[in-house]
A and B are shown apart, each in its own frame.
Chain A
Amino acid sequence: MSMIKVISTNRAIAEAVKMCKPEVVPVFPITPQTTISEYLAQFVADGDLRAEYIMVESEHSSISAAVGASGAGVRTFTATSSQGLALMHEILFVAAGMRTPIVMGNANRALSAPLSIWNDQQDSISERDTGWMQFFAENAQEAMDFVIQAYKISEDHEVLLPSMVCVDGFILTHTVEPVDIPSQEDVDKFLPPYEPISYLDPKDPMSLGTFTDPDYYMEARHDMEVAMEGAKDIIRRVNKEFEEVFGRKYDLVEKYKTEDAEIILIAMGSICGTIKTVIDRLREKGEKVGLLKLISYRPFPQEDIYEAVKRARRIAVLDKNISFGIGGVLFNEIKAKMDVDASGFILGLGGREVSPDDIIGIVEKTRNPTTETNQINWIGLKEEE
């Protein structure tokens, strides 16, 4: 029997991890991920999670130990945020290249400088090319459900790529919500024990992480691209299997009132909650506005996005990140992958609040673009005095 409890998103992630039974958990605390590492430590201390908990001395070491443990054939979990994720950067490539199906929680937080502990999504967006899958949760329930599904997706032998479950720092990590916590029995039914293909075994010695010359490197990278593309179908299948056991339906994207929408907003993470509320209000006034929530940022479901937005008159892409000199990363990816009339909006950097009125302003700017607003728009920026 599942049970509804009012818990924070970090707690939801920790509860999900506990039920997925990783055997090695190397973590290093960082705001606002910290409580994930604390909950997991307590689970281990109480004997509720039978895992080797390694209190490493840095995030570089937490991901390195996770690669070592995964290489030795066990399910692993780690979690981080912002500076910690950036410190892991080098090893994120290795983890994906060595095809270790690590699952990691990332509390999305701004990158220094100036130092900020508050939310934006620059950290994980900046790791988009590492070969990790990235799933963005809107709320605590999704964070929990995505962790459970991430193991099944990553560990699929057709995929074997690591996953990041991304949750907006503080906005989600420290906010309590009612969460339907599944039973261990159901999680066991859904998620089979991890079966590694190649691992460190003295009975069948293998060399992992070898050196390649130009004769082999490209094929290894191509294999990763094939796996990442193929992961879309695996994700759809796993979503379906998840629905069968737990009754909650997911997809690579979530379409919210997009069917007849003239204006569609594209966004990721907790902001989607605010957007849905605004859409409901605007719809009451007869305005045809919709939301395309991107759940799977990598793999990038361009077909699903295009299918959902192609009939709209105009699109607004909301980015909690910036690639200096070119604008929001998601905006540019959408523009590169499909022929749509879109405006880009940079917002919420370093925890800058995004209000329902800001969303209404975005809808207005998108509906009536000027030469200026058709480019990159900064939302909530203080006027220069």
Chain B
Amino acid sequence: MDIPEKEFLAPGHRACAGCGATIGVRLALKMLGENTVAVSATGCLEIITTPYPETSWKIPWIHVAFENAGAVASGVERALKAQGKDDVTVVAFVGDGGTADIGLQSLSGAMERGHNLIYICYDNEAYMNTGVQRSGATPYGASTTTSPHGKESFGENKPKKNIPMIMAAHGVPYVATASISYPEDFMKKVQKAKEIEGPAYIHLHQPCTTGWGYDPSKTIELGRLAVETGSWLLYEIEEGEFKITYRPLERKPVNVYLEAQKRFKHLADEEKEKIQNYVDQVCAELKI
């Protein structure tokens, strides 16, 4: 695959070393190119890339609030259309909190109305910008500052909300999951999303060194472990057609993924087993 060399997210931003979100945005922008307008929700990405008077964005970018990226992107898309700028791509980069929780209504409205835009959720599985509080996308068993493990708690006690399937239920032409650790798979999906007329949703899994508790040099490795253990699946739903885009040759035990992170360190064997069983069940259904 030819990966464009041109960069649209400038270095020097304030992200943590080993940040997964900025890797994802950088890769996406390479595919989207300069004729793109980006929308961000409030969150890590917005804070680290736009400390006034500096900006990392080499394309036009707008941020309005936490819960309304879908609506803002809708307004941007229609305004460009009204001006005859149909060739400009509109992309929203929103965290899992801004997508799965506080921004779900705004996102649902945008998807339902059929705007020609790409919505990329960068999912680091908690509210990282405010210091690792649980979100609807926090996985079962993870310890966060608001779902901490303790004498009477094993951490987050609910499974991750399945946002990609909720988006698919909107009947939009393109829904995909991706991981920053599988850049070609991700970038191909971004390319498809760009070419498709109508709303496209990509749910991008991205490890977070600070929130998950691992060495910053291991970000890509963690993302791979998530996929290789079946904890995160790579698929796309194009015009309603579901397709797995990557199958691990041999699925690794979930333990290797869990044990590499501080947020799961407290888990008893019993809970780990539950997680393994859940992953086995999902993967069996999909023949992974």
A residues lining the B interface (CB < 8 Å): 23-24, 26, 51-52, 54-58, 60-62, 64-74, 76, 90-91, 94, 98, 199-202, 205-213, 216
Q: Which residues of A contact B72 (CB under 8 A)?
A: 64-65, 67-68, 71
A64 touches B65 (CB 8 A): yes
Is A65 a contact partner of B71 (Cβ separation < 8 A)? yes
From B63, B68, B74, B79, A210 is in contact (CB under 8 Å) with: B63
The answer to whether B79 touches A61, judged by C-beta atoms less than 8 angstroms apart, is: no
22 pairs across A/B with beta carbons < 8 Å? Answer: A52-B81, A54-B75, A57-B112, A61-B71, A61-B105, A64-B65, A68-B73, A69-B75, A69-B79, A69-B82, A72-B37, A73-B79, A73-B83, A76-B75, A91-B64, A94-B64, A202-B36, A205-B57, A210-B50, A210-B52, A211-B52, A216-B53
Distance, CA A374 to CA B62, complexed state (A): 51
User: Chain B 22-59 against A: per-residue CB contact (8 Å), 1 yes, 0 no?
Assistant: 00000000000011110100000011001111010111
Hey, which chain A residues are within 8 Å of B47, CB to CB?
211
Q: A24-B78, A52-B79, A68-B39 are in contact. Are A91 and B60 (CB under 8 A)?
A: no
- CB contacts (< 8 Å) of B248 on chain A: these are none
Q: Is the CB of B88 closer than 8 A to any CB of chain A?
A: yes
Taking A61-B109, A202-B36, A211-B50 as contacts, is the C-beta distance between A68 and B57 under 8 angstroms?
no
A167 CA / B184 CA spacing, docked (Å): 56
| B46 x A68 contact (CB < 8 A) | no
User: Would you list which residues of chain B between 83 and 139 have a CB under 8 Å from chain A?
Assistant: 83, 88, 105-106, 108-109, 112-113
Contact A60 B68 (CB under 8 A): yes
Chain A residues within 8 Å of B78, by CB: 24, 26, 52, 54, 65, 69
Extra inter-chain contacts (13) besides given A200-B60, A205-B57, CB under 8 Å = A24-B75, A24-B82, A60-B71, A68-B74, A69-B78, A74-B83, A202-B36, A205-B61, A206-B60, A207-B55, A208-B61, A209-B62, A213-B52
User: Are the CB atoms of A213 and B79 closer together than 8 Å?
Assistant: no
A279 to B80 CA separation, bound complex (whole angstroms): 52
Question: Chain A contacts of B106 at CB under 8 A?
Answer: 57-58, 60-61, 64
Chain B neighbourhood of A67, CB < 8 A: 64, 72, 75
User: Residue B67 at the A interface, CB < 8 A?
Assistant: yes
Instruction: Name the residue among B53, B62, B70, B71 with the largest chain A CB count within 10 angstroms.
Output: B71
Least distance between A14 CB and chain B CB atoms (Å): 19
Contact A210 B55, beta carbon cutoff 8 Å: yes
Interface residues on B, range: 35 or more
- Cα(A212)–Cα(B62), bound, Å: 14
CB atoms of B52 and A71 under 8 A apart: no
Interface residue? B175 (CB, 8 A): no
Interface contact A57-B63, CB-CB below 8 Å = no
Of chain B, the residue at the smallest CB distance from A202 is B35
A349 to chain B, nearest CB (A): 31
Residues of B within 8 A of A66 (CB): 75
Q: Which residue of B lies closest to A204 (CB)?
A: B60
The answer to whether A202 touches B62 (Cβ under 8 A) is: no
Q: Within the assembled complex, what's the spacing in Å between the Cα atoms of A211 and B45?
A: 11
Q: How far is the CA of A64 from the CA of B112 in the complex (A)?
A: 17
The interface residues of chain A lying within 8 Å CB-to-CB of B64 are 64, 67-68, 71, 91, 94, 98, 209
- Distance in angstroms from A54 CB to nearest chain B CB is 6
Q: Which of A56, A58, A64, A74 contacts B79 (CB 8 A)?
A: A74
In the assembled complex, the Cα of A94 lies from the Cα of B75 at a distance in Å of: 15
Contact of B71 among A64, A71, A72, A201 (CB under 8 A): A64
List residues of chain A with CB within 8 A of the CB of B88. Answer: 202
Do A57 and B62 form a contact, CB below 8 Å, given A26-B74, A52-B82, A68-B75? no
- Contact, CB under 8 Å: A210 / B51: yes
Q: Which residues of B contact A64 (CB under 8 A)?
A: 64-65, 68, 71-72, 75, 106
Binding site for A on B (CB under 8 A): 34-37, 39, 46-47, 50-53, 55, 57-65, 67-68, 70-76, 78-83, 88, 105-106, 108-109, 112-113
Contact call B113/A94, Cβ cutoff below 8 A: no
Measured CA separation A56–B112 after assembly (Å): 10
Note all chain B residues with C-beta closer than 8 A to A208.
60-63
Residue of B nearest to A25 (CB): B78
How many angstroms from the CA of A55 to the CA of B47 in the assembled complex? 31
Residue in B closest to A98 when the chains form the complex, CB atoms: B64
- Distance in angstroms from A79 CB to nearest chain B CB is 15
Give the distance in Å from the alpha carbon of A289 to the alpha carbon of B58 in the complex. 63
Q: Is the CB of A56 within 8 A of B83?
A: no
A74 vs B82: C-alpha distance when bound (angstroms): 8
Q: How far is the CB of B154 from chain A (nearest CB, A)?
A: 36
Q: CA separation between A61 and B70, bound complex, in Å?
A: 8
A65→B92 CA distance, assembly (Å): 13
- In the A-B complex, the 4 residue pairs with the smallest Cβ-Cβ separation, listed nearest first, are A68-B75, A65-B75, A72-B79, A57-B109
* A74 vs B76: C-alpha distance when bound (angstroms): 9
CA distance A206 to B109 in the complex (A): 27
Interfacial chain B residues near A91, Cβ < 8 Å: 64-65, 68
User: Which residue of chain B is the closest to A62 with respect to CB atoms?
Assistant: B71
Task: Kindly report which residue of chain B lies nearest to residue A208, judged by CB atoms.
Answer: B62
Bound complex: CA A69 to CA B55 (Å): 21
Docked Cα-Cα span, A76 to B79, in Å, equals: 9
Task: Tell me if B113 and A54 are in contact (CB < 8 A).
Answer: yes
Tell me which residues across on chain A come within 8 A of B63, comparing CB atoms: 208-211
A90 touches B65 (CB 8 A): yes
Q: How far does the alpha carbon of A13 sit from the alpha carbon of B59 in the complex, in Å?
A: 37
User: Measured between alpha carbons, how far is A55 from B115 in the docked complex, in Å?
Assistant: 12
Shortest Cβ gap from A357 to chain B (Å): 47
> Nearest CB to that of B70 among chain A residues?
A61
- For B68, list chain A residues within 8 Å (CB): 60-61, 64, 91
Cβ of B13 to closest chain A Cβ, rounded Å? 11
The CA of A211 and the CA of B101, in the complex, are separated in Å by 22
Shortest Cβ distance from residue A194 to the other chain B in the assembled complex, whole angstroms: 11
Q: A83 to B163: give the CA distance in the assembly, Å.
A: 29
Of A54, A60, A72, the most chain B CB neighbours within 10 A belong to A72
